[in-house]
Chain A
Amino acid sequence: MRRKLELLDNALIERMLGEAFQLIRNPGVRVAPYVVELLRSAGVMVTDGVAHIPEALARRSLELAPRGFCLYDRQGNPAVRYGGDNVHFDPGSSCLNILDAETQQARPAVAADLVRLVQVAEMLPQFAAQSTAMVCNDVAQEIGDWYRLLLVLWYSEKPVVTGAFSASSLHTLLELLTIESGGHKELRQRPRAVFDVCPSPPLNWSEFASQNLVDLARAGVPAEIVSMPLAGATAPVTLAGSVVQHAAECISGITIHQLAQPGAPIVWGGAPAIFDMRTGKTPMGAIETAMLDLACSQVGKHLGLPTHAYLVAGDGKVIDAQAEMESGISAVLGALAGINMISGAGMLDFLACQSIEKLVIDAEAIASAQRLIEGIEPRTESLAVAMFGQAGLQGDFLKLKETRSLFRKEQHFPSSVIDRGLASHADRTPGILGRAQERVEELLVRYRRPEIPSKREQAMLEFAEREGGQVGLRGLPGICSPATASP
């Protein structure tokens, strides 16, 4: 039986939703000109860029949004199932720095770093999806959005959690996805990616966020709202108040999205955090941040919607006990809450830094969380008596056929990252960082790039060369050098 962790009772959720509906009506939600006519045509009053959304319209929109949908891998298999209490993890996204593998110091990330991360994440079954995890500082900012996605699609078969930093780049990203999927129809039917769309707290759908919502809905590509109330700074200081704001931002976003295309897939997601009143930082590893994530997600579940949250991130600058305490706790909490997509693994330093070594350590915490939610099953007709019948008081259970047939189901075996006293660990104690470094290298050696049908691969290269050429990109960093004719 699957136990679920819930922080809110139904009465409090209804109260929160009641206030969220009040907020989107008054003071309303700031929206961009791009969606004003769409909202007005549905009877929404929009004055001075502020939409006053009636509860009835918002509730209808929430009803129209699908209860679940799938993301597909390159082979066309459903690999991520949004909805219900399904739990998946993906690496944290879009950070600027990488913790260098050798020096363990943060430095600006480049395309080669993202390639390494994608290859490692591809080898780890704990990650159902990839993410466009890093900003590649060796690629011009204007093409950074689609370039990250290109690298992920090039080196991975898994679904992708991605996003656009501007309205214009969304269309380039969609074009690339269309090429990779084999056409518009194929992309709609079997979407490979979900796009994060972030409102600006409080209650503001900026130009590019508004446009992304509408354009994704019309393209039939799933959108994932990432609402980021910062409790005490850009949102009420109380956790309950911030959950209300999160709900108001999600509900208003879903209303815009469903008006653009009823039934288009969308996720109730977020990256809420507390605002540290000593430093002004936004600690992602704080327990209150995890509580916000769980509570926000629970409200989405109450409405029957697919959910997302940002967890499994640490706030320190290095891989240490703090990083793994914060990440491990939140991985377990997120899994117990049944959040459909949990982003954040590998992240350090308030989401400013990715670490591939931390990613493989986090994968172990995630595996433990995944084992935890499998729960305890009565796998045998007699739970213990029949086995005692065979083993008697001598207690030699190791010989029993049940032991041999069931131990793999009962026990999760961590990788060499976790020291469980294996012989290979016996004569040395490299510590978890050393073991993680070895694990990364081992995974990279075993990694094989999944094949892309040659016609599509060629079309992706032509796309990249055409788009990259517009900003003078020479070669394709992470794929081929300027001197190389083909990858």
Chain B
Amino acid sequence: MPEDAFSAMRQSIIDGAPDTASDLARRALAAGIAPLEAINDGYVPGMQAVGEQFGQGKMFLPDMMASAEAMRAAMAVLDPELKKLGRERPMAGVVVLGTTKGDIHEIGKILVGTLLSAHGFRVHDLGVDVAGEKFAAKARELNADIVGVSALLTTTMRNQKAVIEALQNAGLRPRVKVMVGGAPVTRKWAEEIGADGYARDAMSAVALARNLMEIKAQIPVAEPV
């Protein structure tokens, strides 16, 4: 029964059970369920439920980490099948993510990347200790819509500003939206450094990224630089 299968997929994400999630993905393919259907009707609703429960304080960061792991496990099975079929998930936008220069922390960033991927964004994670110029170069290479910059320390959050400056210097700022986040980061700080948005957690980063894509769609840039 597909509905039972979708329900089990959804639950495997909520439970944060990667083995179950990948096993269900394999069984779904064997049963003839289309990979895109499994993603959209099984796993994505699972991530959405996780996001909602996190927002309500019913789930915690380690739970979300485990759910993200389960989502990755399912996608590792389903993505190659999608490609074989010559299909792709509708892409919500291209995001370049990284932790700012001098900072080696990436838990929050990984969560954001995973949730963005789960919600249809194509995410390129530059890792940690990333200089502004590297963000700019990758944003140019991928024609990115959004650059997301994370920082865990008050000493390194200042380098978020350097990323925005690097994008400006590269002439990319008009068409690349910048969102910032991390433990010490605040909305006010985001405004001060000229970022386009601040996300307080991984789920709100998804909402923010969608919002930024809508803003981008409303104000098209004449020429890519």
Chain A: residues with CB nearer than 8 A to chain B? 94-97, 106, 108, 135, 141, 165, 198, 200, 204, 206, 228, 230, 232-234, 275, 277-282, 349-352
Measured between beta carbons, the chain B residues less than 8 angstroms from A200 are: 103-104
Which 3 pairs across A and B sit closest by C-beta, in order of nearness? Answer: A277-B60, A277-B61, A281-B183
Inter-chain contact B61/A280, CB cutoff 8 Å: yes
Contacts A278-B60, A351-B184 aside, 16 further interface pairs with beta carbons under 8 A come to A96-B158, A96-B189, A97-B189, A106-B186, A108-B192, A200-B103, A200-B104, A232-B62, A233-B152, A277-B62, A280-B61, A280-B107, A280-B108, A349-B186, A352-B184, A352-B186
Closest Cβ–Cβ distance, residue A161 to chain B (whole Å): 15
Inter-chain contact B158/A135, CB cutoff 8 Å: yes
Measured between beta carbons, the chain A residues less than 8 angstroms from B183 are: 280-282, 350
The number of residues on chain B lying at the interface, defined by a beta carbon within 8 Å of a beta carbon of chain A, is 24
- 21 intermolecular pairs with C-beta atoms under 8 Å apart: A94-B154, A96-B154, A96-B157, A96-B158, A96-B189, A97-B189, A106-B186, A135-B158, A198-B155, A233-B107, A233-B152, A234-B152, A275-B61, A277-B62, A278-B57, A279-B200, A280-B61, A280-B183, A281-B183, A350-B184, A352-B184
Chain B: residues with CB nearer than 8 A to chain A? 57, 60-62, 102-105, 107-108, 152-155, 157-158, 183-184, 186, 188-189, 192, 200-201
Measured between beta carbons, the chain B residues less than 8 angstroms from A351 are: 154, 184
Closest Cβ–Cβ distance, residue A195 to chain B (whole Å): 14
Measured between beta carbons, the chain B residues less than 8 angstroms from A232 are: 62
Measured between beta carbons, the chain A residues less than 8 angstroms from B200 are: 279
Measured between beta carbons, the chain A residues less than 8 angstroms from B102 are: 206
Measured between beta carbons, the chain B residues less than 8 angstroms from A277 are: 60-62
Please, how many angstroms separate the alpha-carbon atoms of A97 and B201 in the complex? 22
Please, how many angstroms separate the alpha-carbon atoms of A278 and B155 in the complex? 23
Closest Cβ–Cβ distance, residue A147 to chain B (whole Å): 15
- Which of B104, B200, B201 has the most chain A CB within a 10 Å cutoff? B104
**Which residue of B is nearest A237, CB measured?**
B62
Closest Cβ–Cβ distance, residue B59 to chain A (whole Å): 9
Closest Cβ–Cβ distance, residue B217 to chain A (whole Å): 30
Please, how many angstroms separate the alpha-carbon atoms of A232 and B62 in the complex? 9
Please, how many angstroms separate the alpha-carbon atoms of A94 and B154 in the complex? 8
Measured between beta carbons, the chain B residues less than 8 angstroms from A350 are: 183-184
**Which residue of B is nearest A207, CB measured?**
B102
Measured between beta carbons, the chain A residues less than 8 angstroms from B107 are: 233, 280
Inter-chain contact B186/A141, CB cutoff 8 Å: no
Please, how many angstroms separate the alpha-carbon atoms of A200 and B104 in the complex? 8
Measured between beta carbons, the chain B residues less than 8 angstroms from A135 are: 158
Measured between beta carbons, the chain B residues less than 8 angstroms from A281 are: 183
Inter-chain contact B201/A279, CB cutoff 8 Å: yes
Measured between beta carbons, the chain B residues less than 8 angstroms from A275 are: 61
Please, how many angstroms separate the alpha-carbon atoms of A117 and B157 in the complex? 23
**Which residue of B is nearest A163, CB measured?**
B155
Measured between beta carbons, the chain A residues less than 8 angstroms from B186 are: 106, 349, 352
Measured between beta carbons, the chain A residues less than 8 angstroms from B154 are: 94-96, 351-352
Please, how many angstroms separate the alpha-carbon atoms of A281 and B60 in the complex? 12
Inter-chain contact A106/B61, CB cutoff 8 Å: no
Measured between beta carbons, the chain B residues less than 8 angstroms from A108 are: 192
Measured between beta carbons, the chain B residues less than 8 angstroms from A96 are: 154, 157-158, 189
Closest Cβ–Cβ distance, residue A99 to chain B (whole Å): 12
- Of the residues A165, A234, A282, contact of B155 by C-beta under 8 Å: A165
Closest Cβ–Cβ distance, residue B180 to chain A (whole Å): 13
Measured between beta carbons, the chain B residues less than 8 angstroms from A206 are: 102
Measured between beta carbons, the chain B residues less than 8 angstroms from A352 are: 154, 184, 186, 189
Please, how many angstroms separate the alpha-carbon atoms of A206 and B184 in the complex? 21
- Which of B105, B108, B154, B200 has the most chain A CB within a 10 Å cutoff? B154
Inter-chain contact B57/A94, CB cutoff 8 Å: no
Please, how many angstroms separate the alpha-carbon atoms of A97 and B185 in the complex? 12
Please, how many angstroms separate the alpha-carbon atoms of A198 and B102 in the complex? 12
**Which residue of A is nearest B107, CB measured?**
A233
Please, how many angstroms separate the alpha-carbon atoms of A200 and B100 in the complex? 14
Inter-chain contact B105/A106, CB cutoff 8 Å: no
Please, how many angstroms separate the alpha-carbon atoms of A416 and B122 in the complex? 59
Measured between beta carbons, the chain A residues less than 8 angstroms from B201 are: 279-280
Measured between beta carbons, the chain B residues less than 8 angstroms from A233 are: 105, 107, 152
Closest Cβ–Cβ distance, residue B101 to chain A (whole Å): 11
Please, how many angstroms separate the alpha-carbon atoms of A156 and B79 in the complex? 63
Measured between beta carbons, the chain A residues less than 8 angstroms from B103 are: 200
Closest Cβ–Cβ distance, residue A238 to chain B (whole Å): 13
**Which residue of A is nearest B181, CB measured?**
A280
Measured between beta carbons, the chain A residues less than 8 angstroms from B158 are: 96, 135, 141
Please, how many angstroms separate the alpha-carbon atoms of A277 and B154 in the complex? 19
Please, how many angstroms separate the alpha-carbon atoms of A204 and B154 in the complex? 18
**Which residue of B is nearest A166, CB measured?**
B102
**Which residue of A is nearest B192, CB measured?**
A108
**Which residue of B is nearest A273, CB measured?**
B183
